[in-house]
A = this chain, B = another copy of it.
């Protein structure tokens, strides 16, 4: 079994080896740029780890794993354009550097490149991997659409929110694990358990993100604390704040959510104070713990020797207790 670190090294070298030499260069420069910005590479890593569990090797999963990472970066590229985000990983976004049209078209080319890589899955399981990927990709578009619609709503329910982050974030993590399992030769039910495991860590992962935005350590978070608060992002915390607030707190929240001009520090302090008084940190941590335990019982259902799962467990633990 390969360690997580070895798997990450392999992924970085494979990504560096993807060459986009077809003309026009102007179409593929933004693709290389996006892929070179880095990121946790968590999706391809999980795909390779899942393959390694059943196949004692990762080669069969390399191309589909790369396809999933290219696809993930495609969604970031188009999402940043739709969200008018200026920065991604501290660098200017593609549409800021090359303009909206190139961002649209280079994104399209990236989605096609993702399919090219996934299309090179071993023919014996191509159809299954392709079907799973296509279903997942469509779900992710749906998640982004919900996310954009939620921006204009103040009555998003917790249930709607969980469904949105399942679609936008969790299904790709689940798809990565299941893809690795399929190409690694896992029995169908085990591939299904790994998919469920992916959904549960994906949900926990996103809730962790919501939490870090408010309660993260500025020294290690990597982004500015309170970014979600400033743009009224409907996070798990804000949705529950609106649900649990008394009348006065609710009025304060809604007032500030409409404001155009304000001191950012004031708004962050005010929202955090309300979150504190409603014990939303604890509420969110409980929910993260709930999904974490579900994920662990998904793993427990696998009929592989526990030592084959050690690496996956340790990565999960690190993701759960991450600081950035």
A145-B24 contact given A127-B123, A134-B116, CB 8 Å threshold: yes
Contact with B along A102-127 (1 / 0, CB 8 A): 10110111011101100100010011
CA distance A116 to B134 in the complex (A): 6
A37-59 residues with Cβ-Cβ distance < 8 A to B are none
Task: Kindly report which residue of chain B lies nearest to residue A82, judged by CB atoms.
Answer: B101
A119 to chain B, nearest CB (A): 5
A111-167 residues with Cβ-Cβ distance < 8 A to B are 111-113, 115-116, 119, 123, 126-127, 130-131, 134, 137-138, 141-142, 144-146, 148-149
Which single member of B22, B78, B111, B145 contacts A26 (CB below 8 Å)? B145
A90 to chain B, nearest CB (A): 24
CB pair B113–A119 under 8 Å, yes or no, is: no
CA distance A108 to B115 in the complex (A): 13
Instruction: Tell yes or no: A299 within 8 A of B by CB.
Output: no
A119-B141 contact given A105-B78, A148-B101, CB 8 Å threshold: no
CA distance A63 to B69 in the complex (A): 28
Which single member of B27, B119, B127 contacts A131 (CB below 8 Å)? B119
CB pair A138–B78 under 8 Å, yes or no, is: no
Instruction: Tell yes or no: A81 within 8 A of B by CB.
Output: yes
A6 to chain B, nearest CB (A): 30
**By CB atoms of chain B within 10 A, which of A127, A138, A146 has the most?**
A138
CA distance A26 to B153 in the complex (A): 15
Which single member of B23, B127, B141 contacts A105 (CB below 8 Å)? B141
A64 to chain B, nearest CB (A): 13
CB pair A145–B27 under 8 Å, yes or no, is: yes
CB pair B111–A82 under 8 Å, yes or no, is: no
Task: Point out the residues of chain B lying under 8 angstroms from A107, CB to CB.
Answer: 108
A27-B141 contact given A104-B81, A148-B101, CB 8 Å threshold: yes
CB pair B105–A134 under 8 Å, yes or no, is: no
CA distance A142 to B81 in the complex (A): 20
**By CB atoms of chain B within 10 A, which of A107, A108, A111, A131 has the most?**
A108
Contact with B along A52-96 (1 / 0, CB 8 A): 000000000000000000000000001001100000000000000
A60 to chain B, nearest CB (A): 15
CB pair B23–A108 under 8 Å, yes or no, is: no
Task: Point out the residues of chain B lying under 8 angstroms from A144, CB to CB.
Answer: 105
Task: Point out the residues of chain B lying under 8 angstroms from A119, CB to CB.
Answer: 127, 130-131, 134
A112-B134 contact given A24-B149, A101-B148, A105-B145, CB 8 Å threshold: yes
**By CB atoms of chain B within 10 A, which of A102, A109, A112 has the most?**
A112
| 30 pairs, CB–CB < 8 Å, chain A vs chain B | A22-B138, A22-B142, A24-B142, A26-B145, A26-B149, A27-B145, A78-B105, A78-B108, A82-B101, A82-B104, A100-B100, A104-B104, A105-B141, A105-B145, A107-B108, A108-B108, A108-B111, A109-B138, A109-B141, A109-B142, A111-B112, A112-B134, A112-B137, A113-B138, A115-B115, A115-B130, A119-B131, A123-B127, A126-B130, A130-B130
